[in-house]
Each structure stands twice: as C-alpha cells, then as structure tokens.
Amino acid sequence: MRDDAVVRVDDTVHLVSGSHTNWVIVRDGDTCTLIDTGYPGDREAVLASLARLGLAPESVAAVLVTHAHNDHIGAAEHLRVTYGTPVLMHEAEVPHARREFLDQVSVGQVLARAWRPGVLPWALHAIRSGGTAPLRVDEPRPFPVEGALDLPGRPVPLHTPGHTKGHAAYHLPALGIVITGDALVTGHPTSRAAGPQLLPGMFHADRARALGSLDVLGALDADVVLPGHGPVHRGPVGAAADRARERA
C-alpha cells in the first residue's frame, strides 16, 4: 500500500485510496465502521489499511455499502464469511448485491466509448482488478432503522439513487462529513475534469435520478466530501453539488 493511500480526514475518519476506488474507515476506539471495500483485487489493501490504523479485521462493526458494483463490494463477502461482519445497504440495493440483477455499465457501452481518453486503460484495469468477476454478497442486510445507525460515527444513510437504484450516501453530522460513493465524485480515470462532478453518463442506471440526488446531498450541513472516486473535497457540499450539476 502506498504511503499516501490513507488520508486522515479527522481524528476518527480516514479516506483510503485503492486501485481507482476509495473506501472510508470511521473509527471509535478499537472498533470501526468500514464504508465500501474496493475491487476484489483490493482485498489485501483493505486489510492493510485497517492494520495501518491498528485495527484488526474482526474489529469492523459493519460494512456499509454505497452500492453493489464490484469496485465497491470487493472484500465485503470475505469479511462477512470470515469474521461475521454484517454488510448493510439500502433495501433497494439488497437484490442487486445478491445479483438477482446486475445494474452496471455493459461491455458494449464501454467498447463504444473506447476511443475516448482514459476509457480503455480504465477498462483494462477494471478487468485485472476483478471488475467483471462473478461477485455477490450472499446475506446483505437492509438498514435496521431509519436515521442514524448504532455504529462508530453514527452514520446517517441517505438514499441517493441514479447511479444504481439503491445507492446510498452516508452523513456524519457531528463531523460535517458526507461519504458520497458514486453519487458525487471528484475525479475518475475516464473524466478529464477535476473536482466535484457526476461520473460520465454511461455509468449511471438513471442519469436523471442521479442529478436529482445532488439535491439531497446539497441540502446537507457538511463541508467535507469523501467520494467513491477522487480526492477529499473540502468546502460546502451544497456548492460541490452545484458544481457537479453545472458540469453534467
């Protein structure tokens, strides 16, 4: 793992950059909440990032999933099976995680855009990292309550559909932090833009709903954005959502 892969955002919150995808560790003493888990090929990096913070895999109180694409659930099933870690997500994402259907960009869509800068290198990396491998979570759980979850950081799930039907962001109100997954990113290998933005259109199941979810994020009281792709963004999330909407 690179020395700069684990970024301290707050005393209790770290953003970790894997192979093109981020995950977040929210610590409370000797336990933590893990939000997303990278590609299947990032499994050892996930474990190494926990170890770097002095946390054992069994100390993960729960894995929270923003959405069930392979580059975000790569180590989730391993943690569930090996350590009994619950894997939680929005109820609309549960059948997606079980692979009752697969709601993601197709090979044909990627090939049709392979001429665009960054698309082919990204696609090759995704394949090497397990982006197209058979992957599922056998026992995904919907959030047990509405509002704040009884987990380290007291994360509040927010339904932010569009990228997938059950995409969720996670607000840490006490810290002014929002983990946005792929509802709002700050960079991507297939994008020339830097800073707050939506992913390119081919990645969204419903782009109109993805645009609508920016309103949900923009209404939050937060000034730190931890995206699924790209670096930490500091500044009002409302302004970040406006910027992403302008670029869409």
Sequence-distant (6+) residues with CB within 8 A of 54 are: 30
- Residue indicated by tokens 């895999």: 57
Helical H runs in 113-206? 119-128
pTM value is 0.95
Query: What would the two tokens of residue 227 be?
Result: 């995206």
Q: What is the pLDDT of residues 192-240, one digit of tens each?
A: 889 999 998 888 999 999 999 999 999 999 999 999 999 999 999 999 9
Query: Is residue 67 within 8 Å of 91, Cβ to Cβ?
Result: no
Q: What is the pLDDT of residues 40-67, one digit of tens each?
A: 999 999 999 999 999 999 999 999 999 9
Nearest to 158 by CA among 72, 207, 89: 89
